[in-house]
Chains A and B, each alone.
Chain A
Amino acid sequence: MSAVIFFIAAIGAIAGAIGVIAVRNPFYSVLMLIVHLVSLAALFLLLRAEFVAASQVVVYAGAVMVLYLFVVAYVGGGAQLASGPVLRILGPLFALALAVELCIAMLGSTLKGISGKGAHYVLGFGTPRHIGTLFLTKYLFPFEIASIVLLVAAIGAVVLARRRRGLETMGEEQQEYRISAHPPVNTGTIAEGAGIRVPTPEQLEPEVEVIGRPRDGGGW
């Protein structure tokens, strides 16, 4: 039974991975990655990693992929270009060589348990209780570092993607005006009192001239 589940999940994981790089539209790539992640969660369950499988589905396939879908929908996929001729041939060859090398390195190692089913299963292996105990005792420092890294990433993403002045087309009200008004008339200056200066009709209306938009303040 576990062999059947393993082969279904493994085929799903590998097919999803191939789909991610084979599909042209990035939107479908993200959907294929969700297939891959769910299959991988099934493999985690077979390895008795219940908590990792659950967080894989909830955090990865749920939250992170929704973020991806939002960005793909916002950016719009971009140009669907193939890479240069050299990489298009060398890339798959490199991937194949890497797969062979990794398989040789891991399966050809002299680890005795690698063909077995793993260590003896004790009840409670991989449950949130054990994981949490490890996180708060033995791995407390990585746990705290991870929280700081999350905070830095969140702030960094907000700084990177925030809306800057000058990047978008501005509305009329944001344009800069220079109001070249003449000296105010009928305010009781000596020249007016002496009748030397008589206001003309256009002097009663201040002259408004658009001199341009505020300069682009952004740069990254």
Chain B
Amino acid sequence: MGIGWFLAVSAIVFSIGAGGVLTRRNPLVVLLCLELMLNGANLALVAFARLWGGEDGQVFALVVMVIAACEVTVGLGLIVAIYRRQLPIDVDELNELQG
């Protein structure tokens, strides 16, 4: 299979994630869509590593996975804190930081 096919899949997955971040209001699903975007980027990195013939892109993909795990941890901690404060679990309602 050509590398271009993998890049097309990564672009589609990234776009689906971006659309989900825009359209969904549940912060849990927004975090899941962020995961989708990171995974699309990961697929592109690994595909380019295959194209180039070096493992540097794979190392980068692993670092992205580490950062994604950190983001999930902090995001889920925030959601649990929101739930404990009995605030609405809805990104449109949580607008206290809006200017």
Given A10-B5, A98-B15: A52 and B61 within 8 A (CB)?
yes
Do A79 and B9 have beta carbons less than 8 Å apart?
no
Contact among A44, A71, A156 for B79, CB-based, below 8 A = A71
Nearest Cβ in chain A — how far from B29, in angstroms?
Answer: 5
Do B92 and A116 have beta carbons less than 8 Å apart?
no
Type the 1/0 row for A158-185, where 1 means its CB is closer than 8 Å to any CB of B. Answer: 1111011001000000000000000000
Do B28 and A142 have beta carbons less than 8 Å apart?
no
Do B59 and A79 have beta carbons less than 8 Å apart?
no
Type the 1/0 row for A24-52, where 1 means its CB is closer than 8 Å to any CB of B. Answer: 00100110010011001001101111011
Do A46 and B1 have beta carbons less than 8 Å apart?
yes
Secondary structure call for the B interface:
helix
Among the stretches A83-91, A192-200, A204-212, the one at the interface with B is A83-91
Do A95 and B5 have beta carbons less than 8 Å apart?
no
Do A103 and B46 have beta carbons less than 8 Å apart?
no
CA distance A103 to B9 in the complex (A): 9
CA distance A135 to B62 in the complex (A): 10
B99 within 8 A of A: no
Nearest Cβ in chain A — how far from B76, in angstroms?
Answer: 5
Contact among B15, B42, B66 for A150, CB-based, below 8 A = B66
Do B69 and A59 have beta carbons less than 8 Å apart?
yes
Q: Which residues of B contact A96 (CB under 8 A)?
A: 15, 19
Q: How large is the interface on A (under 10, 10 to 19, 20 to 34, 35 or more residues)?
A: 35 or more
Q: Which residues of B contact A164 (CB under 8 A)?
A: 84
A-B contact count (CB 8 A): 263
A190 within 8 A of B: no
Q: Which residues of A contact B39 (CB under 8 A)?
A: 36-37, 40
Having A17-B36, A71-B76, A88-B23, one finds 7 other A-B pairs with CB under 8 Å, namely A6-B1, A26-B32, A40-B42, A52-B46, A96-B19, A111-B51, A139-B59
CA distance A119 to B19 in the complex (A): 33
Nearest Cβ in chain B — how far from A8, in angstroms?
Answer: 12
Nearest Cβ in chain B — how far from A211, in angstroms?
Answer: 25
Do B16 and A83 have beta carbons less than 8 Å apart?
no
Do B29 and A26 have beta carbons less than 8 Å apart?
yes
Do A26 and B15 have beta carbons less than 8 Å apart?
no
Do B80 and A71 have beta carbons less than 8 Å apart?
yes
Contact among A48, A134, A160 for B74, CB-based, below 8 A = A160
CA distance A7 to B75 in the complex (A): 33
Q: Which of A72-92 contact B (CB under 8 A)?
A: 72, 74-75, 77-84, 87-88, 90-92
